[in-house]
Structure 1
């Protein structure tokens, strides 16, 4: 039942994900068959998915308007940016919520259990690895330097923590939750916070406070299996993502110690791909900030983007031996 060398690559993503196209062009040049599916929406737009289970037997088929895929012949699955399981566009209320839930557990469950497929990354591992507390704990266990961090809904403890950090403290959200102010979408950026700014409103939910790293620059390290691609980021902002037009990027070597710890982190989290963010001090110490298991990467310099795309294509074509 394992996927053979001639099996297809199944790509799970939304139709507007242009980053995927960079890798798909490489696979097309290599004549690797690819089926692209958005599991959150395509089953409501003509795609059909079936799976059969029994003692000693498992089979299934995916039919789209243009393709038919034997689910036992999938060599790899690339979990990129699929749409959420929101249900069919027609019904509303309880019916739509029921259909959305059944799709998540049915379609999502089938696609996460394909026999012999190599996942980049497995969707369940992706979800587990998105929790920032788990990221910090895994980074510590993997030997990475981690800034002193407090996650709490106790505002007195939060104030005390801020006062204890002589170099300052930053606040960052635990998840990039959509946030509206007067009906307008806002992004909650990483920012420095002072003790007197912390109020009893902290009790509403957990907050993440972290000792500010006296950094010389940032690093984005993209890991694809055992291949590491890092760029130094120089930005006038504490959070370089805020105004990317003002930042400068250049390839940078990864210290051996950091590389070994990144490999340990991926293995502990069951990941093939990870986008790691580091703050690097003037003394050259790399401090782990977070790892996005499905982070964007095509914004980097062309040479780096091309190398990452080829590494991903190798993984999807050849599996863990890539």
Structure 2
């Protein structure tokens, strides 16, 4: 037998021993529950190759029945024989799956730990140099892939940071442009308001000048009219006095004709003077501007 076959046989023996240990742990966990219910144990094992253990169990039950006030199993040859039988025939636990499902959490954790130990031993015992080299190659390839992925992640992070900076600059530029546009619009609006206000003030000033000139000219005309009226009244009174004096004379008829003609002449002269002044009137701004 070469060394490879010998090593394989040894590995299989180690695995069988570990597997058997796990099976014995399972049966050891449910032995107390099996002995607590011997009737069910008899019913399940009767007619199988494991029914030879039923006779020692009956002897133990009879012994416990004779020992009044004692419920614990005795540490004698019969008890050890029963326990050894279950440990040797550890496959009996497969007849009681409900007991395996009702194990306590602590027992479940122990079985899980032993199962993990069994798988780890199987993996380490069956590894070869070729498989190890293959694993090393895979790990090396995964390492290089990881390095490449990390480089790509760094590049993506740098690109994202650059894009964020560009986005911030674009946002700032847009904000500055909008502020400038708003400032230009506000400036133009202010200039338009100033121009409109200046035009309004200019129009108001011109209207005030024309209105003042019109009022002044109207006042002058009123004064001239009053003066002409006073002159006319004075002249009329004078003529009336002359007419009254002439009536006293004997030539009253001739005097009336003369007085009437004289008054008509004076009235025509006053109207002619007023007409000439009105036709030659100009606003005061006209004379000042010229």
Q: TM-score range by the shorter chain?
A: under 0.3
Larger CA Rg, structure 1 vs 2: 2
Higher helix share: 2
User: TM-score with structure 2 length normalisation?
Assistant: 0.19
Structure number with higher strand proportion: 1
TM-score by structure 1 length? 0.18
